[in-house]
Copies of this chain bind each other. A is one copy, B any other.
């Protein structure tokens, strides 16, 4: 069945943040991300696909999986897909997906060991790469404080290539009080900043740790800084003014994971 005008209009309306938030849905692009949703507990409402895939044997299994779950699959032409996806290279498929809403209360803090907290990171590419790195290095949960870009921003969703569905991500977190709460639960809380006194490689390891990263322009806010145990830095050897926040997060998580693996081995 072809995508109707009303459905096209609805899909396009999801490019607006306020509609996404009212409907608690968002648009996903591409086959890879679609597979990730199928493997997660996140629900899909509808899939729109270019007819060239409907007869393609490479996609028949995925399409019949959608059918068996009762997810409507509609035919959409190139122009319609482009109108919905707003990317230059439409990947031939989009899906209307329900937003997941992870809850702070449901994160098992007794079992969690590494948590990443993000304070006001407004660039979707940066937050997207923080989510991918957190997934790659098996972080237990991501806490997004106020001022962060919306999790279902189209560029962010695209840049995470499905990692959103692999990891618990809590939005709108009141970081100052939540970090204090985590501290009382045995977490060490390290904030990262260029003016930190401790080198990240010399930070004392702790079984439970929260790593806090701040905004691109202003770093960690004063209120959040007051709730961390220590300010840690990545030492600079050249002349750059700062590291990209997504890169800083990746460096810290790579080192942390390597240290933990080493400890396991000994």
By a CB distance below 8 angstroms, the chain B residues around A19 are none
Do A136 and B246 form a contact, CB below 8 Å, given A125-B125, A162-B241?
A: no
Chain B residue nearest to A125 (CB atoms) is: B125
- Would you call A236 an interface residue if the criterion is a C-beta within 8 Å of the partner chain's C-beta atoms? yes
Residue of chain B at shortest CB distance from A136: B240
- B244 contacts A250, C-beta separation under 8 Å: yes
Interface residues on chain A, size class: 35 or more
Cβ proximity bits A242-266 to B, threshold 8 Å, 1 near / 0 not: 1110111111001101100000000
B246 touches A234 (CB 8 A): no
With the chains together, A214 CA to B194 CA distance in Å? 29
**Distance (Å) between the CB of A166 and the closest chain B CB?**
4
Chain B residues within 8 Å of A240, by CB? 132-133, 135-136, 161-163, 166
Contact in complex: A167, B247 (CB < 8 Å): no
Cα separation A166 to B237 with both chains bound (whole Å): 12
B138 and A243 form a contact (CB under 8 A): no
A239 within 8 A of B: yes
In the complex, the chain B residue whose C-beta lies closest to that of A36 is B241
Contact A241 B32 (CB under 8 A): yes
- Which residues of B have CB within 8 Å of A137? 237-238
Q: How far is the CA of A163 from the CA of B238 in the complex (A)?
A: 10
Alpha-carbon distance between A167 and B240 when the two chains are bound, in angstroms: 10
User: Do B241 and A163 have beta carbons less than 8 Å apart?
Assistant: yes
